[in-house]
Each structure stands twice: as C-alpha cells, then as structure tokens.
C-alpha cells in the first residue's frame, strides 16, 4: 500500500488533539499489573504498542507475541520473570534481531529462569517461574545501550524481597526516560534514592490511584517539522504540558532555531512561524533520540547543514534509522553521512528538489511520519507501508487531513 501526501498551499492552521504518550502509558500499565490493584488510567495511548501490552497483560496464553513493540517486549520480560508458570515471549522478525541479553543477564542474577529459544541473546525467550529471588540485590548494568532495560528493572524493584540497588556503568543514554520511570513510580507511592551511579529502591508497595496520561511530545515533533516547512503557522496542539516528564519536550527549544515559536495555553501549545533561516544546526540527541529523525529531515527540508550527535541507540530501533535516513534523503537530493562516534551529518545547502518521491518506511513508524512532512517542501510525496504509523500514532493520517492535507491511496 502507498499513500500520496500533498497540500495545495503551505499554510498550517487548525487544532489537533494529540494521543496519550506511549512511553508513559506503558509504564503505568506495568505498574498497575505489578500493584495487583485496579485503578483508572485516563487518556491511554491508542498506539499498537500500548494496545498490545494491554492484551498481553490480560492473556492466559502460553505464547505471547509482542510483534514489533520493543518497549512492550522489554517491560514484559522483567514483569513475567517474577510470575508463576511458563511463558514464551516472542515478536516480529525485526524484534528477533534486537538484543535482549543484557536485561536477561540481570534478571538471571536476581533469580529469574529464562532460556533463549533461538539465537543466544535475542528473542524469543522462554520464561519460567523464578527460583529463590536474590535478597539485598545489588547488580550492575551497562547504561549506554538502552534505558528500557533499566526502566524494566526499576519497575519490578519494589516487588523484590529487599528491593534493588542498580548500579549504572559507563555513559548513560536517554537519562530522561529513566527519570520518567522513577517519577511515574513516585506518583504511585514508590520512593528511591539516586546517589552517584547507583539507584536504590527498597521493597515497598505500589499505591493504587487514578492517573491521566499527558499527550505525546514525540508525535508533536512532526507538527513542529511541518511548521518549520510552512509559509505561515497558526496551529494548536492540545494535551501537551509545559512541565512534561518526556524528553522529547526538548523540541520546543530546538525548533526556535528554525523559527517555530511555542506558546503554552491551558489546553496545550500554540505554534507560530517566524522568518528564521539557520545556516547550520548542531545538537546532541543522547537524551532524546526519538526526535533525531525529525531534526534530520528538518535540516534537509530547510537546506541547513546539520550535525546530529548522540545517536547510539538509533541503529537498534525498528530499523537502522541512520542508514534509513541516508537512503531516503538521497531521494530529494540531500546527502547524509553516518560518521564515527554516533554522529550524523546532513549536507543540505540547497532547497531539496524531487518529483513525488517514493519513500520507504522500513517498518518504522517514525520514518513514515517524518518523511510525510516533506510534502510541504517538494509538493507531494508517496509513503510506502503507511499504516505502520499505528505503532505509535494510529490517527496520524486522519489528523493531517484535518489540516488540509490530501492523503490518497495510490
């Protein structure tokens, strides 16, 4: 399936109510399951990943398939490691290429019984009831691979016999996501200390209480890109919070460099466009890697040379996102290069030119959404496998239509 995306003008005007944050939704669902209590969760993400997690948490099946949902797989690995019985946890072909060994090793040291069903260190895995869980647990974990491993361990920590001391080794990636996990846990009564490189969570109980999920700043980033490409913008995005727990709220400050101005309102944010044209862009995305693709495409569309740093985790996402960007930006005449030490260069000194380029999405929801924004730059783009956006933002194409975009199957 291919969608053709176009817009008769470059004016951006309207109101979009954004979906709940997938990252926060998934954390709250795991905490609810660990608490063993019922409480209402409002504005849950409608994403495929979150709906998959809901289904699997309520499943009695022996084989649980997460599909391409990485966060769901990692959080369930830790959650199931404490349960009675035996479950096989599997996923899509791409999921079977995404490493899980670091998390499994940590869980085994805590007393979990987990076996690999195929390739060592990778899904699928078979999880049995734990043997005697480690008391006064103190384990080390590399902090430079995936914050999701750390978050998975932190959320089960208060349910362990004496809690957990988790020592983070080496350079940390995506620290705000770890902080998001701890803030969410604190919202449900679980306290911690973080001194130096060690997080200590004593044994304690989660306290049930109503929770409302804030809107998704990752999804908001695509509208910031559209604003950067527009001639004028008068756009309201509802549900976003100024004091957000989400790392991707950094998009507010970043996009000021491209003339996108944010005003916070009672309902969310109001975006407007000013005449600013940067010649170069340099930013370290170590703490917010999910918006790196957005800024790579913004640099390309605004013919601004960019250096994107801190991209350690992009190669192990739904696809190798660095290589995917290199491949697709070439279709609009923009040269991108993967350089040493997790950096990427965008060479875009002239306005992109293309005649309805056909963009591949690599089974990656973020590639589909960010490449669609280039319709404002080149007039029309075509997107392969467009329904992949369901992984995080099922209503994306419908929301574009609300802003006057043509979204047609071709």
φ, ψ dihedrals at 336, nearest 5° = -125, 145
**Cα–Cα–Cα angle for 240, 216, 253, rounded to 5 degrees:** 65
CA 287 to the chain's CA centroid: 12
How buried is 134 (Cβ within 10 angstroms: 0-12 exposed, 13-18 middle, 19+ buried)?
Answer: middle
Cα 240 to Cα 128, 134, 272: the distances in Å are: 41, 41, 16
**Active-site hit among 49, 290, 364, 399:** 290
End-to-end CA distance of the chain: 8
Coil, strand or helix: which one is 28? helix
Buried b (16+ CB within 10 A) or exposed e, 175-198: ebbbbbbbebbebbebebeeeeee
Coil, strand or helix: which one is 287? coil
- Record the tokens describing residue 41, joined without a space: 């969760």
Q: What is the spatial distance between Cα 71 and Cα 77, in angstroms, rounded to a whole number?
A: 10
Residue 9 bears catalytic tag: no
φ, ψ dihedrals at 194, nearest 5° = -130, 105
**Cα–Cα–Cα angle for 222, 224, 230, rounded to 5 degrees:** 105
**Cα–Cα–Cα angle for 147, 149, 152, rounded to 5 degrees:** 110
Please give the positions annotated as active site. Answer: 290
């Amino acid at each position: 399936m291919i969608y053709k995306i176009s817009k008769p003008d470059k004016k951006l005007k309207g109101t979009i109510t954004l979906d709940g944050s997938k990252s926060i939704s998934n954390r709250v669902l795991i905490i609810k399951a660990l608490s063993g209590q019922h409480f209402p969760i409002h504005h849950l993400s409608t994403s495929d990943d979150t709906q998959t997690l809901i289904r699997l948490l309520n499943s009695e099946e022996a084989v649980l398939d997460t599909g391409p949902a990485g966060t769901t797989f990692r959080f369930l690995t830790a959650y199931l490691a404490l349960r009675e019985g035996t479950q096989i946890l599997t996923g899509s072909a791409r999921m079977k290429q995404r490493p899980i060994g670091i998390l499994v090793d940590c869980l085994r040291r805590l007393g979990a019984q987990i076996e690999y069903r195929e390739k060592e260190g990778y899904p699928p895995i078979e999880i049995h009831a734990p043997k005697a869980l480690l008391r006064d647990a103190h384990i080390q974990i590399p902090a430079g691979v995936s914050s999701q491993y750390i978050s998975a361990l932190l959320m089960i920590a208060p349910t362990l016999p004496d809690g957990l001391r988790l020592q983070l080794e080496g350079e940390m990636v995506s620290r705000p996501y770890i902080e998001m996990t701890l803030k969410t846990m604190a919202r449900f009564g679980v306290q911690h200390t973080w001194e130096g490189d060690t997080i200590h969570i004593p044994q304690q109980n989660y306290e049930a209480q109503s929770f409302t999920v804030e809107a998704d700043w990752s999804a908001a980033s695509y509208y910031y890109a559209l604003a950067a490409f527009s001639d004028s913008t008068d756009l309201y995005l509802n549900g976003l919070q100024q004091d957000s727990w989400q790392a991707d709220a950094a998009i507010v400050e970043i996009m000021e460099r491209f003339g996108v101005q944010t005003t916070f309102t009672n309902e969310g944010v109001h975006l407007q466009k000013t005449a600013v044209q940067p010649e170069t862009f340099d930013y370290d995305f170590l703490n917010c890697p999910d918006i790196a693709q957005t800024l790579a495409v913004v640099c390309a569309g605004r013919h601004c040379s960019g250096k994107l740093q801190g991209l350690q985790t992009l190669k192990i996402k739904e696809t190798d996102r660095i290589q995917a960007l290199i491949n697709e930006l070439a279709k609009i005449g923009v040269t991108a290069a993967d350089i040493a030490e997790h950096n990427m260069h965008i060479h875009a000194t002239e306005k992109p030119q293309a005649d309805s380029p056909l963009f591949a999405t690599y089974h990656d929801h973020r590639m589909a959404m960010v490449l669609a924004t280039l319709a404002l730059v080149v007039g029309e783009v075509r997107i392969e496998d467009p329904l992949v956006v369901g992984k995080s933002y099922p209503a994306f194409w419908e929301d574009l239509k609300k802003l006057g975009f043509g979204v047609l199957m071709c």
